[in-house]
Homo-oligomer: A and B are copies of this chain.
Amino acid sequence: MSGEKEYLKSYDKEMYEKPSVTVDLLVFTIVDDRLKIVLVKREEYPFKDMLALPGVFVNIDETLDGAAKRGIKEEAGITDIYFEQLYTWGDVNRDPRMRIISVSYLSLTPSEKIQLSIGQRTSSVELYDVEELLTSDAKLAFDHKKIIEYGRERIKNKTEYTQIAFEFLEEEFTLPQLQKVYEILLGKSLHKANFRRKVMPMVEETERMTMGDAHRPSKIYRVKENTIVV
C-alpha cells in the first residue's frame, strides 16, 4: 500500500510556521499562614527585573506533564509533588519576542519540601505572598498575573469540592492546622465544630499529640487510606 508511506510527504510540504510551546509553573505553598507562590526575577529582556512564573520550553521528545515535572524539580527542587494542568494560554502577543503558547500547571506543596534554586535566565527564585500580589497593582511579566489569578481561583474552587487542601500539609497534622489551611484557601473563617464534623470521615487519629504549648494539646491525624485527595 503506497498510501501508508506517502502521507508523510504531503505533510512535509505544508510548512506551517509553528508557535513555541512552554510550560509555566504555579507552585503554591503556605508559609506563616499565608498563601505563597514561587516566582523568579527575570534577568533578561523582555520584562527584565520583573517577576514571572518559572517555566521551561517543552522538548520535542517530552510530554507536557514531563516538562512540568522537570520544571518543578529545576526551580523548586521538588520531585514528589501534586500537580495538575491548569489552562493553556494562547494569545498572539503574550510574548513580544515570538509566538509562545504556554501550558500552565498548578502545583501544591507543603513549604518544607521546597528548595529554591536559581535558573540560568533568572536572578532569584523566591516565595511571594499571593493575596498581596493580586490586590496590589504590582505588574508581572507577560500575562502571568492573570494566570496567577486563574490558579488562585481554581484552588479556591477545588478546596470546596475536593480534598486538595491536604496537599499543603505534610503527612501528619492536627485538625486546627488543617482548618487553618482551609481558611486561608477559602479566604474566610470556619466554625470549629462544623469543620471537624466535615473532615472527620477523611482523617484517622494517630496515638500521638502535640506537646509543649501552653494550652491543651491536640491530637495528630493523618489522611485516611481511602480518601481520594484530588
Contact = CB atoms under 8 A, between A and B. Distances in A.
Interface in A165-214: none
Contacts of A216: none
Interface stretch (A18-26, A71-79, A220-228): A18-26
Contact of A21 (B4, B18, B48, B98): B18
Contact of A18 (B20, B44, B90, B92): B20
Assign chain A's interface to a size class.
35 or more
Contacts of A161: 161
B60 A21 contact: no
A6 B20 CA distance: 20
B90 A58 contact: yes
B87 A63 contact: no
A61 B7 contact: no
